[in-house]
Amino acid sequence: MRAVVHDRYGPPDVLRLEDVERPVPKEGEVLVRVHATTAGTSFEEAAAVCDGVTLALMGLRPADLRKGRAILVHGASGSIGTAAVQLAKHFEAEVRDSLGPGGIYLATDGLRNVMLAWWTARIGGKRVVFPIPPRYEKQDVLFLKGLIEAGRYRAVIDRRYPLADVVEATRYVETEQKTGNVDVFGTLGANNEPAVNSPRKPDK
């Protein structure tokens, strides 16, 4: 099968596409095939749900968001941030571009945001940071499934790349200019040519 191999540190160019043996589970192991099962969701859209919104929910749960509370999501343009804004609206909280005392601050992007969250707590707000390591729970998956099926959450996809363009996709992510998610698809057509055209315009 075709796979992206990443076996050393370096820039995006260290990634390469190779034919590798299909994994065979050993004793005590399982091989899991993942596919979108949520009604009205394509496999491509489901792929963008696996990370950002799950992590955003982990960060928001301790905040006990509800109507009448305000939250500032710092780094709201990434996969976690765009998800956090949608979840906060679902919980009927007020999403602000600045925050006063008593508000909730969610840091989504790196150490500098954790430091800002600490400072927010010092001036009277409440900071929320992600659990390390992340804790994935069945109840959260079912909760998100319900939101998606009800049309209350939609993953933001900035660009889509075929597997063969994984280096270009990684370069784009590293510009830190993406909005939401960047999807890379492994579907290949005849003669191992990508069956998906190169990046589409961002979803609106």
Of 67, 54, 80, residue with least CA distance to 156: 80
Most confident range (mean pLDDT) of 20-34, 88-102, 154-168 is 154-168
Whether the CB-CB separation of 179 and 82 falls below 8 Å is answered with: yes
pLDDT of residue 105: 59
Residues 3, 25: Cα–Cα separation, whole Å: 17
Question: For residue range 62-96, what is the model confidence (pLDDT) as tens digits?
Answer: 888 889 888 888 778 888 889 999 999 999 998 87
> Could you tell me which residues are beta bridge partners of residue 73?
106
Report the predicted TM-score, pTM, of the whole model to 2 decimal places. 0.75
Q: What is the Cα Rg of the chain in Å?
A: 19
CA atoms within 13 A on the CB side of 193: 4
Question: For residue range 12-21, what is the model confidence (pLDDT) as tens digits?
Answer: 999 999 999 9
Can you tell me which residue has the tokens 């301790």?
A: 62
Question: For residue range 144-156, what is the model confidence (pLDDT) as tens digits?
Answer: 989 998 989 999 9
What is the number of other CB atoms lying within 10 angstroms of the CB of residue 11?
A: 10
User: Between these two residues, 43 and 34, which has the higher pLDDT value?
Assistant: 43
Residues 172, 181: Cα–Cα separation, whole Å: 11
